[in-house]
Amino acid sequence: MTTNENKFQQIISHAKEYGFVFQSSEIYDGLSAVYDYGPYGSELKKNIRDYWWKSMTQMNENIVGIDAAIFMHPLTWKASGHVDNFSDPMIDNRDSNKRYRVDHLIEGLADKLKEEGKTQEAESLLAEMDRLLVAEDYAALKELIVTNKIVCATGGTSNWTDVRQFNLMFSTEIGSVAEEADKIYLRPETAQGIFVNFLNVQKTARMKIPFGIAQTGKAFRNEIVARQFIFRMREFEQMEMQFFIRPGTQKEWYEHWKETRLQWHLSLGVPREKYRYHDHVKLAHYADAALDIEYEFPFGFKEVEGIHSRTDFDLKNHQLLSGKKLQYFDNEINQNYIPYVIETSIGLDRMFLLILSESYEEETLTKEDGSTDTRALLRIPAKIAPIKLAILPLTKKDGLPEIARQVMDECKNYFRCFYEEKDTIGKRYRRMDAIGTPFCITIDHQTKEDQTVTIRYRDTMQQERIPVSKVKEIVLNNIM
RNA sequence: GCGGAAGUAGCUCAAUUGGUAGAGCGAUAGCCUUCCAAGCUAUAGGUCGCGAGUUCGAGACUCGUCUUCCGCUCCA
């Protein structure tokens, strides 16, 4: 437990030291739960995103992608349930540190009054509460709790904080003139951009059910607790796919995607035992089945991806609020219906952290003279590594850099390369290990005579002599 | 949001009972014909998280504030 805790700290330090992840606005003391990706981090993140995108769209003829805007019509979030379900006023008890939804607290008292036969008193209490909730009069709501002597169920005291609004969605204004400005939200999930475009996509790409729409993009949530590095962020990136199906077939498609998505994870070389499924017992308002794919992070098994059977909840509500028919005519059964949906939703930042956690290693090496040395390395799968190939002239004279530059020019159109002629060769190898570069080639004096170079493998530290003309091909074979 | 701990160079840490900051590693430039981080030389880099207060004088003491870490609470 403690060693894992240390390992997590080491990963965080390593991520900063080698240009993967920085805290946002660090020179101003940082911004809580917001992080920036550095030179190698942004490459890795992009590679993970591309790998997901390709596996969804390129590898499945019935899945297409979109890129919907972050801003959406405010009614979108009314339809999705985000406005009503996730923006309740809350109050804390200072003694027990318990947090309550204000309406639950007052409704609790009303129920008690009804049991005591004071029905009229209960009704007027609830009416007053509703009036204040609509008016967003938080001071009066607190007053209502205090005057009715509502106490904390745990501590039994009435030492309450002020009533506060915990809206998990970020809001801003649209419209350049203040008076015309209208409240608008930053999307808390990318899914709704897919749902509102369901008909556009289905018609223009001539999709037939079952089919999927994939999207990657930023989403924003005002998390109550922001901690655990990039695991929980206020601004994060999702990779989602909504799969539209005939009602009644949700069970089999749910199973299909449950299995398919786990296989995707395993394709990155992560052992099966580091994953587990976690079925949701308490389902969200939109789902009839849901599970998480969890990975064993250094701080325990945590959700990386969710598979949700969302029924027709979203399309049905958008149809209701927009007044537009969001239906599909199924020729096979000669029927019109609102499709059911299976969602796969994975956090890109969590996947990034997963890759770091899985690939980070501090290895102890025994040298020829018997002394020991440590090497910090990232065993990132070659296909998503930030840098694929390092090109290193053994010395920076005798024409070696010139040959190295030729190799560089030949390879850099195909994959990301890194050229380095400074410091001892050992030091350069270790630097490449630290950022997860799978292959290094070294140009030496022998290269001038027989056109061969040394290729050195990150994971084994093994080296072998290969023709310089084979370099590009070898790397390409390993990253495709 | 509550409670506890911490905050000195990119990193890890020093600075005698308060007397206006140092080292190692790293980085940068160069030397050494150098295949697994420890050879040599030089250089850069800090208003000691920020703001007040006590004091002749504060990195060290007091208060506030911000951030981070640990626990509790919450989570679509």
pLDDT digits 0-9 by tens, A34-47: 888 999 999 999 99
Q: Return the CATH number of the domain spanning residue range A38-70+185-356.
A: 3.30.930.10
Provide the β-strand partners of residue A220: A235
- Which nucleotide lies at the shortest CA–C1' distance from A87? B76
- CA-to-CA dists, residue A420 to A346, A424, A434, angstroms: 36, 10, 15
Is it the case that residue A92 has pLDDT exceeding 80? no
Q: How far is the CA of A29 from the C1' of B59 (A)?
A: 19
Question: What confidence tier does A1 reach under pLDDT thresholds 50, 70, 90?
Answer: very low
Half-sphere exposure of A46 (CA within 13 A, CB side): 11
Amino acid letter, residue A44: L
| Nearest residue, CA→C1' of B2 | A97
A311-339 pLDDT, tens digit per residue, is 999 999 999 999 999 999 999 999 999 99
Q: How far is the CA of A164 from the C1' of B48 (A)?
A: 39
Q: How far is the CA of A89 from the C1' of B33 (A)?
A: 74
A246-273 pLDDT, tens digit per residue, is 999 999 999 999 999 999 999 999 999 9
Residues ≥6 apart with Cβ < 8 Å to A370: none
| Residue A209 tokens, joined | 């059910």
Coil vs helix vs strand at A465: strand
- Which nucleotide lies at the shortest CA–C1' distance from A345? B76
Q: Map out the domains of chain A as residue ranges.
A: 38-70+185-356, 87-167, 387-479
- Which nucleotide lies at the shortest CA–C1' distance from A225? B74
Contact between A436 and A378 (Cβ < 8 Å): yes
- CA-to-CA dists, residue A335 to A208, A250, A323, A329, angstroms: 13, 17, 20, 6
Half-sphere exposure of A90 (CA within 13 A, CB side): 15
Which CATH number is correct for A87-167, 3.40.1160.10, 3.40.190.10, 3.30.40.230, 3.40.228.10? Answer: 3.30.40.230
| Dihedral sign of CA atoms A144, A147, A149, A154 in order | positive
Q: How far is the CA of A118 from the C1' of B25 (A)?
A: 75
Q: How far is the CA of A254 from the C1' of B35 (A)?
A: 53
Is it the case that residue A2 has pLDDT exceeding 60? no
Q: Class of the A387-479 domain?
A: alpha beta
Q: How far is the CA of A24 from the C1' of B47 (A)?
A: 24
- Which nucleotide lies at the shortest CA–C1' distance from A189? B76
Pairing assessment for the beta strands A89-92 and A99-101 based on DSSP bridges? antiparallel
Q: How far is the CA of A424 from the C1' of B30 (A)?
A: 15
A87-167 and A387-479 in the same fold:
no
**What are the b/e assignments for A242-251, b being 16+ CB within 10 Å?**
bbbbbeeebe
Q: How far is the CA of A352 from the C1' of B10 (A)?
A: 23
**CA neighbor of A380 nearest in space, from A55, A10, A40, A6:** A40
- What are the backbone angles phi and psi of residue A387, rounded to the nearest 5°? -115, 130
* Model-level ipTM above the cut of 0.90: no
Greatest Cα pair distance in chain A: 101
Query: Quick one: average pLDDT of A344-366?
Result: 92
| Nearest residue, CA→C1' of B36 | A426
How many Å from the N-terminal Cα to the C-terminal Cα in chain A? Answer: 37
- Which nucleotide lies at the shortest CA–C1' distance from A222? B75
| Residue A172 tokens, joined | 């801003």
- Which nucleotide lies at the shortest CA–C1' distance from A426? B36
Contact between A261 and A344 (Cβ < 8 Å): yes
Q: Indicate the angle between helix axes A348-359 and A39-53, nearest 10 degrees.
A: 110
Q: How far is the CA of A459 from the C1' of B52 (A)?
A: 55
pTM listed for this prediction? 0.88
| Nearest residue, CA→C1' of B65 | A29
Q: How far is the CA of A18 from the C1' of B14 (A)?
A: 26
| Nearest residue, CA→C1' of B49 | A29
pLDDT, position A114: 82
Q: Indicate the angle between helix axes A138-147 and A102-115, nearest 10 degrees.
A: 30
| Residue A316 tokens, joined | 């049905």
- Which nucleotide lies at the shortest CA–C1' distance from A394? B34
Nucleotides of B under 7 A from a protein CB: 1-2, 7, 10-12, 26-29, 33-39, 49, 66-76
- Which nucleotide lies at the shortest CA–C1' distance from A392? B35
- The most confident of the ranges A3-12, A282-291, A350-359, A365-374 is A350-359
